[in-house]
Structure 1
Amino acid sequence: MNTHLHVISLIAGPLLGAVATFFWESDRYGVTASVVLMCSTVAWIYGLLGVWERVGERRPWFGAVGTVLALAGFAGGMAFSLQGFFEAIFRVSGPESLAAAADHPIASAVVLWIPGPAFPLALCALGIALAWTRLAPLWLGALLVLSGAVFPLSRITRTESIAHAADVLILAAFTALAVLYVRTGLRRPGREPASAAT
């Protein structure tokens, strides 16, 4: 049952994230996009934790660090979705929101600026981890790293075409990962987990 939920999560998360981009209002998340993005983040984290658990069976230290990074990315996704939601309902512009955040630099760093980059870093780390542990083919690891690199570019520039391209890339990578999860359980055949061998 957990495997099926992990697989559903790995597809539902990026799919909802891609849908959210279609509801941008100009170059900002509005109410609808923010709510869909929040749902995407909640849907996605369960599958990501399942994958990092598999990595942890081969490389416990890497799996632990990756889990923390994934959770930090989850926090960043929630923070930015809520930021967009409250900007929209209180009719606060992007520059006004940034100016208000600048009045609280430490709190803003903890809530937004530190966890924000954790999501694309988590994608890159996941690609490296899966390729390194040979739980996924090299091309899939490279696709995850590429999607992690493109994602911040699309959100920093606020360019819809780049954002849609990044969303499609991420969705393709995680769909392939979900298929692999169904086929192999993300376990290498004939090998004991590292944690069991020690």
Structure 2
Amino acid sequence: MSLDALGRASLVLGPLLLATSTFFWVDGRYGVTGGVLAALASAVWVYGLLGAWERLHARMPAVATVGLVLTVLGTFGGIAFGLQGFFEAGYGFTGEESVAAVDRHTVAAWLALWGPGPLFPLSPVLLGAALLRARLVPRPLAVALLVAGAAFPLSRIGRIEPVAHVVDAFLLASSAWLAARLPRRTDSAQRTGAGTR
């Protein structure tokens, strides 16, 4: 499998794992299985997201660089929240007990969870906006990514499973669409080269 094909697979498998994790929620919390799947989703998805930002680098170098950094930090936050769900359920803590325990370590909690956590859904929002501006993919696709990323935190704050499933499906569909329509690395390079001549 080529690196390009691996990146496209990542853009499908990552959100698919995330969508699957929601089916294992226990009273609106990730639980052991859901937490592991959510952490794996972030780890798998990041490769494809970084590849998408790399396609934008020639056209929008500053924006792409910021996007790359925020995506990596957001991935760390996604993994951290998934593992929090795993350990929370594994040790038998309630959601309130888990948050209270974490809040006793304010700086560490901000560095591990509350800071990078929101960057995870922010990544597709920024990516969608950048793709929209660069016109690298169809406009409806860029808007779909933007909207899906913006809807993600709302689906998690309310902890309402049907809402979470709908948002997860929308995020999966838009990321899979991106996998299908994102220009290949060589196509992107040829366009950039042709534009600079």
Aligning the two structures, in what range does the TM-score lie when normalised by the shorter sequence? over 0.9
Q: How does 1:103-122 map to 2 (within 5 A)?
A: 103-122=104-123
Looking at structure 2, the residues matched to 193 and 38 of structure 1 have their Cα atoms a distance apart, in angstroms, of 38
Name the residue aligned to 1:191: 191
1:11 aligns with 2:12: yes
Deviations 1:138-165 (A, max 9, x none): 1111101110111000101111011001
Aligned length: 195
- Per the alignment, in what secondary structure is the counterpart of residue 13 of structure 1? helix
User: TM-score by structure 2 length?
Assistant: 0.94
Counterpart for residue 53 of structure 1: 54
Q: Give percent identity, aligned residues only.
A: 45
Asked if the contact 2:55/2:188 (under 8 Å) is kept, the reply is no
SS for the counterpart of 1:192 is helix
| TM superposition score normalised by structure 1 | 0.93
Q: What is the deviation of 1:191?
A: 2.8
Cα deviation, residue 102, structure 1: 1.6
| Structure 2 partner of 1:174 | 175
Superposition map of 1:17-166 within 5 A: 17-166=18-167
Amino acid aligned to 2:68:
T
Counterpart Cα distance in 2 of 1:190 and 1:24: 46
Q: Please give the root-mean-square deviation of Cα atoms over the aligned residues, in Å.
A: 1.9
Whether contact under 8 Å (2:125, 2:147) holds in the other structure is yes
Where does the alignment leave 5 or more consecutive residues of structure 2 unmatched?
none
Code of the residue aligned with 2:117 in structure 1: it is G
Check the 8 A contact 1:124/1:145 in 2, yes or no: yes
Once residues 42 and 112 of structure 1 are traced to their aligned partners in structure 2, the CA distance between those partners, rounded to angstroms, is: 16
8 Å CA contact 1:34, 1:84 repeated in 2: yes
Moved over 2 A (4+): 186-191
**Deviations along 1:19-69, whole A, 9 cap, x unmatched?**
010011121111111111121111101111111100112111111000001
Structure 1 residue ranges without an equivalent (≥5): none
**Higher deviation after alignment, 144-153 or 98-107:** 98-107
CA contact (8 A) 1:57 1:193 kept: no
Secondary structure of 2:49's aligned partner: helix
Q: Secondary structure at the match of 2:116?
A: coil
Amino acid at match of 2:26: E
CA contact (8 A) 1:58 1:193 kept: no
**Cα distance in 2 between the residues matched to 1:80 and 1:189:** 36
